[in-house]
């Protein structure tokens, strides 16, 4: 089991300055990319050291080695020596850019009204929460204790992007269904209108495979034309979706190719029934149909 203290954060020049305990990086799963994180010995002199994230290094020390540099902050405006750089974390949502952040070896505010314990454990969460609450209340009955798992925290942060994803997926599924129904209906109507012509072709010796290919070629031409128009429109309109996309660009070529091939495949399946119907036309019935 690993745990660490996490004190209140305060806004500074480095957008966010947070006080932490020695084991915070390990407990929170944050990777140290340069230097080191705090040790227990570092807390003999609190608020003298700092660890910044990669976003802070990029924003305030571009092209420099941050280790050994000093920053100032906190209520006493003390200078702190940077001893490490850690990977970025997202605190404002999964679709937000990482904010510059610094961690210091001690509480940012001397009388912080809120203290968080970050705990990593393999035990059952309910049993663990109950045991932790019991220990905390044994220390002080007036303390208010609230537990939240990392999965819950990430779930809350992902609620907006997840809803947007479900909404876009629903609209996309409806659009594909309408396209498939439209292709099927159009080709069925075309085959019905050309029943006499197809019957004459078969009566004159045209092979059914050629009739099948004829209908499929005409349908494929329509689908390809529609796909080209749709992709052109999508390239223009997806710029309006940038704010609700996560992990993919509005003009991601792989996404466009997968969607295009998926739509063409669905349309080919929809064309198969009217094409087979055309290839199985009885010439006598077709001639009478005229």
Q: Tabulate helix, strand, coil % of the chain (nearest 5).
A: 55, 15, 30
Q: What is the rounded distance in angstroms from the CA atom of residue 279 to the CA atom of residue 284?
A: 14
Q: What is the rounded distance in angstroms from the CA atom of residue 50 to the CA atom of residue 46?
A: 10
Which stretch, 24-33, 103-112, 119-128, has highest mean pLDDT?
A: 24-33
124-138, 165-179, 275-289 — which is least confidently predicted?
A: 275-289
Number of Cβ within 10 Å of residue 153's Cβ equals 11
Q: What is the rounded distance in angstroms from the CA atom of residue 178 to the CA atom of residue 113?
A: 57
Identify the pLDDT of residue 259: 82
Please tell me whether residue 31 adopts helix, strand or coil conformation.
Answer: coil
pLDDT in tens, 127-170: 777 777 777 777 777 777 777 777 777 777 777 777 877 888 89
Contacts of 22 (CB under 8 A, 6+ apart): 4, 37, 38, 39, 40, 42, 43, 105
Q: pLDDT band at 1, cuts 50/70/90?
A: very low
pTM score above 0.75? no
Domains of the chain: which residue ranges? 2-120, 160-289
């Amino acid at each position: 089991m690993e745990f660490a203290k996490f004190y209140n954060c305060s806004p500074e020049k480095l957008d966010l300055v947070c006080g932490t305990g020695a084991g915070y990086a390990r407990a929170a799963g944050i990777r140290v990319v340069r230097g080191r994180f705090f040790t227990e010995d570092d807390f003999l002199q609190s608020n003298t050291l700092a660890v910044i994230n990669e976003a802070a290094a990029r924003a305030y020390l571009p092209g420099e080695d941050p280790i050994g540099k000093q920053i100032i902050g906190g209520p006493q405006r003390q200078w702190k020596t940077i001893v490490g750089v850690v990977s970025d974390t997202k605190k404002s949502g999964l679709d937000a850019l990482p904010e510059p952040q610094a961690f210091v070896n001690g509480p940012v505010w001397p009388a912080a009204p809120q203290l968080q314990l970050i705990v990593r454990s393999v035990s059952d969460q309910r049993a663990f929460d109950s045991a932790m609450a019991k220990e905390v209340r044994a220390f002080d009955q007036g303390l208010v204790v609230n537990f939240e798992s990392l999965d819950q925290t990430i779930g809350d942060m992902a609620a907006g992007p997840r809803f947007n994803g479900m909404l876009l997926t629903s609209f996309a599924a409806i659009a594909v269904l309408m396209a498939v129904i439209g292709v099927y209906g159009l080709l069925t109507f075309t085959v019905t209108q050309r029943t006499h012509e197809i019957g004459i072709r078969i009566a004159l010796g045209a092979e059914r495979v050629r009739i099948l290919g004829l209908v499929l070629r005409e349908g494929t031409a329509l689908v390809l034309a529609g796909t080209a128009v749709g992709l052109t429109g999508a390239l223009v309109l997806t710029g309006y979706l940038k704010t609700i996309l996560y992990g993919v660009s509005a003009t991601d070529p792989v996404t466009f190719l997968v969607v295009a091939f998926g739509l063409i495949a669905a349309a080919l399946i929809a064309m198969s029934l009217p094409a087979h119907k055309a290839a199985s036309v009885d010439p006598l019935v077709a001639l009478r149909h005229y």
